[in-house]
Amino acid sequence: MGIGMAHGATHGITMLGWSDYVGLIRCRAVPTHQLEARLEHGLGWAVAGQALTPFAELAPNPWGPMAEVRQVPDPSAHVVLPAYDGRAPFDLYLCDSRYPDGTTWECCTRGFARQALAALESVFGLRFIGAFEHEFTLITDTITPAPPFSVEALRVAPRFTADLADALTQAGLEPETVEPEYGYLQYEVTTAPAMGLAAADRAILTREVIREVARWHGMRATFSPKPRLDAVGNGAHLHFSFADADGSNVTFDPSTAASGSRTGRPPSGSALQRRAIQSARHGASTWSTGRGTPPPAPT
Amino acid sequence: MIVGALIQAGLSGVRRALPLPPACDDDPANLSEDQRRDLGIVPLPATLTEALKALESDPIASAWMPEPMRRSYLDLKRLEQELAESQSPEELCRRHAASY
């Protein structure tokens, strides 16, 4: 999904990033002119970093300060945004965490998704199609909040929203909507569905592009599930279905009451979805469980 | 991790040939206890502590992660929960907005 500018670039900095257990994107970075040498074997990384909370504390872990893996950038998960208004370009790869022999580190979150997707394909011949919706809140002193979902709410930040749509498009992330949400200074971005691991990569890269464009405008975008105690919460929705080897969607079966295909064929149905949602909550932060009390934000 | 867990959940359901449960086309919060029970709707864990207990007591979900990942993930999430319990809601709110 990169737009193919970094290769051959001779200046600036390129970030090699990964999503950790708490859903933050951490990174190391190299001068862009050295990237070519890093594409094959990546950069070493002390894996104790995987034990970081969302703040600064380090959890007990078996790794100690010496254990390392390689963070190997994947050219299929790459965004470049050119310099904006005199600022530095934004150049980010997502990485796989690998041992020096190339095998996947057992605690690599991207490897976790990759392995599950491979099983889905090898056992059932199915491919995952996913599209995310992202809600976020702008933190700024310079914009007067406006009513929910209103034209006013979009137009109080006209450059930000227009630049965001352009940046997401330029990064190849295929935005479908950039719109005001229910909360004050809350917005939502949806992107087109993507296939397999690219769906997860797209979700991560979209969030980072949103943050970057907010920074361009002197603001912060927060995805915190409750950015203020009296604020409407932010969520992320995942819509998903399955395709066969030909790319045809096989999730829809009009003969069932819920129009979902039965198990034994495609893994759809609410048993899957309930288990899946519960699993997703396992990955939630302490604070996102605090958001789960009614009334929920309309979305 | 959400995509990985979602797919594993689906694979688990299909491998065990679980039947498709009845559809629910209303907000579960609007249903009675009996209606929810009939539809097999169970509330999600309300706290991280409950969610971690649910994961630890579920051998199927536990097997989705390689053992080093399962152990280190649980250790990290337990610390996150302990830290949260020692902070006021205002502080938690502020720190999460700063990190996320």
In angstroms, the CA A286 to CA A53 distance is 11
What pLDDT score does A287 carry? 59
Q: Which of A51, A197, A272 sits opposite B13 (nearest CB)?
A: A272
| Res A274: pLDDT | 46
Cβ B96–A256 below 8 Å, yes or no?
A: no
pLDDT at A297: 38
Average pLDDT of the residues in A141-145? 88
Q: Please give the pLDDT value at position A9.
A: 61
**The dihedral formed by the CA atoms of B53, B54, B60 and B65, expressed in degrees to the nearest 10:** -60
CA B32 to chain A, closest CA, distance in angstroms equals 16
Question: Closest partner residue to B96 among A263, A277, A285, by Cβ?
Answer: A285
Taking alpha carbons only, the member of A80, A24, A22, A20 closest to residue A45 is: A20
Please give the Cα distance from A53 to A287 (Å, whole number).
13
Two tokens, residue A181: 């949400």
Cβ neighbours, 10 Å, residue B87 = 13
Residue B41's pLDDT is: 84
Q: Each residue of A170-188: pLDDT tens digit?
A: 999 999 999 999 999 999 9
- In this prediction, residue B18 carries a pLDDT of 82
What is the rounded distance in angstroms from the CA atom of residue A81 to the CA atom of residue A141? 26
Average model confidence (pLDDT) across chain B: 89
Q: B42 and A274 in contact by Cβ < 8 A?
A: yes
% of chain A beyond a pLDDT of 70: 81
Residues A224-258 as b or e (16 or more Cβ within 10 Å = b): bbbbbeebbbbbbebebbbbeeeeeebbebeeeee
3-class DSSP state of B52: helix
Residue-level pLDDT at A254: 59
Mean pLDDT of A101-117: 96
- What does chain B come to in residues? 100
How far apart are alpha carbons A180 and A111 in whole angstroms? 35
Q: Left, alpha or beta for A196 (phi > 0: left; psi -120 to 50: alpha)? A: left
Q: Compare all CA atoms of chain B with the CA of A291 and give the residue at the minimum distance.
A: B46
Give chain A positions within 8 Å (CB) of B88. Answer: none
Predicted TM-score (pTM) of this structure: 0.87
The whole-angstrom separation of Cα B4 and Cα A279 is 10
Q: Report the percent of chain B where pLDDT is more than 90.
A: 51
